[in-house]
């Protein structure tokens, strides 16, 4: 018994260090909850394409609006005023005319949840890149 303990004990501190290191590593990599997944470049490219084919006819290829729909660079659409859920809802259910005089927006069909997230991420990145019209 004594001999066995003796044989094992030098390994224990190493095992403890490895265990602690693994826990710290895991916590740093994935343990902390993320509020929002960061937009990946691939997701942004998909979002840009989907925006062009589904939104640009009214909201403009550069997001700056057309005679059929408002600019998404209007300060009205900044994240604190029209959050991501407002975008999700407009896509899924449409939006009644209330801010402008373009008429109602019909729901946009054919986009799954991931695609909707990509479209929103693209709009947010363009809002950041181009800034808002005040």
Least distance between ligand HEC and beta carbon 109 (Å): 10
Positions touching ligand HEC (CB under 6 A) are: 54-55, 57-59, 68-70, 82, 86-87, 90-91, 95, 97-100, 102-103, 105-106, 108, 119
| Ranges of H-type helices in the chain | 2-8, 11-26, 41-54, 56-59, 84-93, 113-130
Cα separation, 24 vs 91, whole angstroms: 41
Choice between 40 and 57, CB closer to ligand HEC:
57
Nearest residue to 62 via CA among 76, 75, 51, 54: 51
What single DSSP character describes residue 111? Answer: -
Nearer to ligand HEC among residue 87 and residue 126 (C-beta): 87
Task: Report in angstroms how near the CB of residue 29 gets to ligand HEC at its nearest.
Answer: 33
Q: Minimum CB separation from ligand HEC for residue 132, in Å?
A: 14
Q: How far is CA 83 from CA 8, 10, 26, 88, 113, in A?
A: 58, 57, 32, 9, 16
Q: Give the nearest distance from C-beta 76 to ligand HEC in angstroms.
A: 8
Q: Which is nearer to ligand HEC, 27 or 92 (CB)?
A: 92
């Amino acid at each position: 018994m004594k001999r066995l303990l003796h044989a094992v004990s030098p390994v224990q501190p190493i095992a403890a260090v490895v265990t602690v290191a693994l826990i710290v590593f895991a916590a740093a990599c994935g343990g902390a909850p993320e509020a929002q997944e960061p937009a990946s470049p691939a997701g942004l490219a998909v979002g840009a394409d989907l925006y062009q084919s589904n939104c640009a006819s009214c909201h403009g290829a550069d997001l700056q609006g057309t005679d059929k729909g408002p600019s998404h660079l209007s300060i009205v659409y900044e994240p604190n005023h029209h959050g991501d859920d407002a975008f999700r809802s407009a896509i899924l259910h449409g939006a009644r005319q209330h801010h402008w005089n373009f008429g109602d927006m019909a729901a946009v069909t054919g986009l799954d949840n991931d695609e909707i997230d990509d479209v929103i991420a693209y709009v947010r990145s363009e809002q950041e890149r181009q800034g808002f019209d005040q």
